[in-house]
Amino acid sequence: MTPGRSRPPHRFALLLALCAVTLTGVSVPAAPQVSVLAGGLEVPWALAWAPDGRLFLTERPGRIRVVANGTLDPSPVATLPVTAVGESGLMGLALDPGFAGNGHLYVCYTFDKRTAVVNRVTRLTLREGRAAAERVVLDDMPAARIHNGCRLTFGPDGMLYVTMGDAAEPALAQDPKSWAGKILRIAPDGSVPGDNPFAGSPVYSLGHRNPQGLAWERRGRLLAAEHGPRGRDEINHIQPGRNYGWPHVQGRAETARDRERFVDPLLESGRDTWAPGGIAVLDGHLYVAALRGQRLLRVALDVDLVVRRTETLLAGTHGRLRDVVAGPDGALYVATSNRDGRGSPARDDDRILRVVP
């Protein structure tokens, strides 16, 4: 070798650096590229992209914010009268499929009605940079300091899907008359679709502890992430009218009778704790934001929704992760949750991260 000339890298070393490899059954993905889109936020909870490229987000104390052209607007588009105690406050956000024309956005938040503290879904209309004309579309869901659910997403059918936690009362998840511990399906005006599995009821599925992630995979099937007790966090395929077992079953059912009654998760954490927040589908993979787990999970599912591989990204590098959505540029956008009272916030927390996996 000529003196002073560096040794060229070995082909195998280059392969390790550029590709995800599998050694002894453990998947080691290449490090994602991470940059900060916005910082200085207070517990961002949900992210939603508008057709014109603006990113809308909620902050749990009650503000709806917007990032336009890479810059966070210092003024909220709306401030709502929420009750933000424990895990409650302003949570879910979804933009109407016709948002470009009607400006409708939907939120889920905790509200003190004086007679009771409830979770509600409301619709606001964005005009000239401000969201107003609030209209309640679904009200009086049980609320508590913990287990409020409140993730929103529109389906390919144009219906609005709403997660509700068990409001710290596990038995409510199995009570067909209660909307707690359920995934709900309503029309955009709040009415109950005629093809819901239970006539006259918004209940779409039941037996949930605290589902905080919803996403549609490429074949139009609904996936949900759910907090378990002491581990046993779940990824579920949500089917109309089905029962997911809480509180009778934690994770996968252990008896034949329970397997007949309840739907097993596609994936569960076992004794590990993810504390999953939002989920997103990108390039055929499911991404799961983990709060206590402080990581981003990447799950490969085959056409039958069988888990083929699970990888860990951003392990411990950015703290608690609350939501993840796919951006129009093909990147993931991830909200941290280090100022929620359970994290260790850095100076610029909370942040919205742009992640190229």
* Residue positions annotated with a catalytic role: 147
- Rounded-to-integer distance, Cα 201 and Cα 308, Å: 36
Inter-residue contact 173 to 164 (CB < 8 Å): no
Place of tokens 């000239």: 128
Rg (C-alpha) for the chain, rounded Å, is: 21
The pair phi, psi for residue 86, each rounded to 5°, is: 65, -125
Beta partners for residue 237, in sequence order: 223
Strand 71-72 versus strand 78-79 pairing type = unpaired
- Rounded-to-integer distance, Cα 310 and Cα 267, Å: 10
Q: In which element (H, E) is residue 164 found? A: strand 160-164
Token pair for 347: 């100076």
H-assigned helices in 214-349? 256-261
Q: In which element (H, E) is residue 15 found? A: helix 11-18
Token pair for 349: 């927390």
- Rounded-to-integer distance, Cα 185 and Cα 43, Å: 27
> In angstroms, how far is CA 293 from the centroid of its own chain?
14
Beta partners for residue 68, in sequence order: 71
Q: Specify whether the backbone of 133 is left (phi greater than 0), alpha (psi in -120 to 50) or beta.
A: left
Residue 170 DSSP SS3: helix
- Rounded-to-integer distance, Cα 234 and Cα 205, Å: 15
- CB within 8 A of 223, min separation 6: which ones? 213, 214, 215, 216, 217, 235, 236, 237, 238, 266, 279, 281, 286
Burial (CB count within 10 angstroms: exposed 0-12, middle 13-18, buried 19+), residue 212: buried
Q: In which element (H, E) is residue 102 found? A: helix 99-102
Beta partners for residue 190, in sequence order: none
